[in-house]
Amino acid sequence: MKRIFSGIQPTGEIHLGNYVGAIRNWVELTKEYDCIFCVVDYHAITVDYPIEELKKRTVETALILIACGLTPEKCRVFVQSHVPEHTELAWIFNCVTPIGELERMTQFKDKSKQHRANINMGLMGYPVLQASDILIYKAGFVPVGEDQVQHVELSREVARKFNARFGEIFPEPKALLSIAPKILGVDGAAKMSKTLNNYIGILEDEKAMWEKLRTAVTDVNRVRRADPGNPEVCNIYTIHRAFSDNQVLLDVDKGCRTAGIGCIDCKKLLFKNLSEELAPIRDRAFSLMKDTDYVIDVIQKSACDCSAIAKETMKEVRSALGLLTI
């Protein structure tokens, strides 16, 4: 089977944007690909973070991935720092990656603005480590959103430069673009984010979820129920596209445009469909929280499997580089 690699940072509670944009698609991909999914804790330390919470967040992130359906029978889920070959290969890739390429990375520019007091080499080298994450397993495909395509392209360039200098070892990975709709936060103004406190967590209880939906921004031009709306500019309708069937979408679209349905009614329909999909995930997650030893066992066994693959790749790399091995 063709191999896929992707990662997720343990930076906070997993929300609807993460679930729709990545995790749900990952579960589908396990049916066709040999999948490796990673909690990328080394990526998370490139910005200031609560040190005392990192371990807890790492376990929780792996736990939620498993609860969503990324079970050990379907794929590998492990923690990046548990396989040291990731960072070893990243150093080697640093030696073939031009600084100019890294300075052009959109994410580096954005994060440098957000974290002016801590513009470190990790921020700049982030996509090099990402290339290492992918290529240490010789993954041919990387499921990403549009905002990550530039990093996958850099991974292709890194593989190309290494191969040209040291011999053909790495494939040039291709981006598998997610077709999921882009979910904005409940403010309707920015990408859903825990930092911006505009998110709906997939493990939130139904009361908290409904309160956030109830007050979420809709079409700003629809002030009264009698005003016709435009679902294409309404974030609630965008979320409907991710969780509601075609008939509901048609009914909501028509009702919004003709003022035949109010925003609260629309939100109630969405809440019902959200609850039906997320309730089983929430139940599995809470069950796993009572047995975190199982989660630790899963990530340890996955790390063992991934370490075996990574070690074989590094044997090839060290030989190609002409390093002395003992």
Residues designated as active site? 111, 191, 194
**Number of continuous H segments (helices) and E segments (strands) in the chain:** 14, 5
The long-range contacts involving 213-216, CB below 8 angstroms and separated by at least 24 positions, are 213/186, 213/267, 213/270, 213/271, 213/274, 214/264, 214/267, 215/186, 216/186, 216/187, 216/188, 216/267
Whether the Cβ atoms of residue 69 and residue 19 lie closer than 8 Å to each other = no
- Tokens linked to 31: 């049916």
Say how far apart CA 167 and CA 157 lie, in whole Å.
14
Cross-strand partners of 176: 143
Q: Dihedral of the CA atoms 277, 279, 282, 286 (nearest 10)?
A: -150
